[in-house]
Structure 1
Amino acid sequence: MNPALTAQEMLQKSQQAPQWLIEDLLPVAGVVTFAGEPGIGKSFTALSWATAVANDSYWFDWNTASMEPFQERRNVVYVLGEGFAQFGKRVESLDRLREPAGNSLHFVDGAGQGINLSNPASTQKLIGLLEPLNPELVILDTFSALAGVKSENDNAEVAKVYAVAQRISSMFSCTVVFIHHMTKDAQHVRGATAIRGNSDTVIVAKKASQSGLTLSTYAKDDGKQRDGEPVLIEGLFVSSDGILDFDPPMGRVYDDDLRVTSRG
């Protein structure tokens, strides 16, 4: 296949509907930054994504199999840069209260394996761990723990790390998600502009006005969605059982394109 596209082929490509791993949220074979302030529930949210994709099932009201019907569960790899030993409790709660992901969801102790995405040898080690699994989704939790950059504000350093994520995404045709932090005022994604610039999607988690959290890819929230329309998802919260749950707030419904619309 000739890698160079004609103008007509480029036009046809631009008119194709986006392909989603999770509808209107996680693009297929894209690089995603998922940012939020500490303790808001980012890892709970990412784990719920991982379980839904591994089970080839819905993530609450959002389909994870919009491309084509899958005959088998899909492999997901969750790389933890910290807190590996304690993370098992979250997995146990999710398996007990939701459909277990079984052998399709895999966890890597990033700290124990010495994963450093700024180091070529370490990057190759991670790729070697991923190769037998051929994952559909790779979650890197967190950017600060796994990137190995001297400064998150250094565009050149950060761009190299995102180039690694893009390489992994291309090699396995998988979606790669970095979990990251917001600035202290919780208004912007922390670090260099290269983080947003090299992300296909930026999802921002913010505290809801009452309780729980919202997810937004709107630019006004410092989100980004390269393909498709932006979304705002409300009604998410971490339950007392230690899992992410969803209860759409009164007065809000989601239209057929999963954009928030008002009832009133």
Structure 2
Amino acid sequence: MGYAALMVHVEPDDAAEPRIRLAADLADRFEAALIGFAGATVMPPPVTAPVLGPGVAVEVLEAEQRRVEAGLRAAHERFRTIAERDGRRTGWRSFLDHPAAALAREARAADLLIGGRGGGAFGLGRDQTVDAGDLLMRAGRPVLVVPPGVAVLEARRVLVAWKDTREARRAVADALPLLADAEEVLVVEAVPDEAGDREAATRRTGDVAALLERHGATARGETLESHAGRAVADALLRAAERHGADLVVAGGYGHARLREWAFGGVTRDLLARCPVCCLLSH
């Protein structure tokens, strides 16, 4: 069992290079096709004073479109330079469209999406970046969120952040190709002090660890004491550091509120603060 096709989001700036290298390495590991993706929207021109006339607005719009199209070409060239060699099976898709919406739509062609945190980092605007949380809620595919500058994912020691929910079960299933190949998987569940549910949590993490071992992984379960809210993410991140993990697998929790995605505190904190790669499923 493995991944047959990966899709990586490529921005036109240098921040994308480590992520492309990580994606190419994963593609080689699983003998998978690697599809590069770039998307950007043409921002409308600002309101122009009537005395300047409509011609100025047209010129501004045309200049903006040229800028965006140049960025898409630069992203493709960056992907081609890094990924399109050594006999690797690759593909490329780019769109003048909202990046997260277009990438979620194109996700039908891949088993796993690979992206950054988004949010306009490295000087790029929201018209060129993909917010990881937005993509997670739209795509119907697992999303591997790569922190800035990370170019390698060995996934030899992995932390599974367990919660007895559909999203966590989906995340474990989606991560199986990586989990089965890991040297050690630590399955942890944070138990609030007031819950008094440590025995049940131990049974749940043990069940998950046993299933992973049936898939060939070396796995064990563990419970973490934690208060609700931000302390849960802190406990998970401390456990990942203690375990020496370079990958955290977790369910992504949220819901649509008007036109924005609202997340639970743990998902939000993992997206914002986790120093290692996160594989999230919703």
Larger radius of gyration: 2
Tell me if both proteins adopt one fold, taking TM over 0.5 as the criterion.
no
More helix by share: 2
TM-score with structure 1 setting the length: 0.35
- Higher-RCO chain (CA-CA 8 Å, sequence separation at least 6): 1
